[in-house]
Amino acid sequence: MALLQIAAARTGTSSPLTTIATTVGIGVEEGASTAVGAVRSGGRTALSLPALRAQNASLNSQNLQLERENARLHELLAAYSGQLAIQPHLQSYAGAIEARVIGYPPEGGIASVTIDKGTHSGVARDDGVLAGPGVIGRVIEASPFTSQVALITDFTSTVPALVQRGRYWGIARGNADSVRLEYVSQDAQLRVGDKVVTAEARSFHSGALLGSIVKIERDSALYQTAIVKPAVDFSTLDRVVVLPK
């Protein structure tokens, strides 16, 4: 080993022993540095863990508050949109009463909804009820603070009606999920897509939209029947207008 070192010194080159020792030393230093870094990092993490937990809890709380605020704003937007939809009815009918749908009947019962206004607000039996797009039905029961409204699709519902194009007269009768326009003259030139509106009667003035014809049937030599799709989507009812007689 001494001869190798002396020979390297005389020739001015690095000794193999020096090279090996240096390489091993660097490896040891790098390993020690990595181990010390890991210990330091773990120590910092351990020290900052409570702060991280507090920060995470704060972010979760903020996220929950934002979700609640988002839901509240969506509800306000829906309510505002519903109010805008019924404004034309409130402006067109003197004494019209604004109400909200608060209940639906059990499955298989009468096709009706419950609204949050009753006799205390001026609602009475047989008053007509409208939503933004058109006719919903008529009041069949009124208590002091709530009322029940039979939909135009209920089998008990009958409304005098007109086909707007041509002024053809008929009776709009409830048909589960649609309306049958019955007793229309065979001479009436009905077309799919024709608008059907209310005629002047006990519950409605003429011109309130019932729906559109989707099918035409021939019943007899005297009359024809049209199947009408209601203008209102009854599954999304919210704001409505009651029309006192």
Domain end: 45, 74, 92, which one?
Answer: 92
Q: Are residues 83 and 122 in the same domain?
A: no
Q: Are residues 132 and 221 in the same domain?
A: yes
Q: Are residues 53 and 154 in the same domain?
A: no
Q: CB neighbours of 233 closer than 8 A, spacing ≥ 6?
A: 133
Count the domains in the chain: 2
Short-list 121, 155, 119, 122, CA closest to 137: 155
Q: Are residues 225 and 160 in the same domain?
A: yes
Taking only the tens place, the pLDDT of each residue in 58-108 is: 888 888 888 887 777 766 666 556 666 788 777 888 889 999 999 987 665
Statement: residue 230 has pLDDT above 80 = yes
Q: Are residues 132 and 244 in the same domain?
A: yes
CA–CA gap between residue 101 and residue 112 (Å, rounded):
10
Q: Are residues 152 and 242 in the same domain?
A: yes
Quick check: pTM over 0.75? Answer: no
Does residue 132 sit in helix, strand or coil?
Answer: coil
CA–CA gap between residue 110 and residue 105 (Å, rounded):
7
CATH of the domain at 214: 2.40.10.340
Q: Show the 3-state SS of 226-237.
A: EEEEECCCHHHC
Adjacent-strand bridge partners of 159 = 172
Q: Are residues 82 and 154 in the same domain?
A: no
Domain end: 70, 92, 114, which one?
Answer: 92
Cβ-contact 226, 199 below 8 angstroms: no
Q: Are residues 121 and 173 in the same domain?
A: yes
Q: Are residues 162 and 88 in the same domain?
A: no
Q: Are residues 150 and 233 in the same domain?
A: yes
Position 199 scores a pLDDT of: 94
Q: Are residues 87 and 104 in the same domain?
A: no
CA–CA gap between residue 43 and residue 155 (Å, rounded):
77
Judged by average pLDDT, the poorest of 65-69, 128-132, 186-190 is 65-69
Q: Are residues 187 and 150 in the same domain?
A: yes
Does residue 11 sit in helix, strand or coil?
Answer: helix
Q: What is the mean pLDDT of residues 130-147?
A: 94
Instruction: Kindly state the tokens that stand for 45.
Output: 């993490």
Cβ-contact 153, 138 below 8 angstroms: no
Range of the domain at 238: 97-245
Domain end: 76, 92, 108, which one?
Answer: 92
Taking only the tens place, the pLDDT of each residue in 24-41 is: 556 656 665 676 566 666
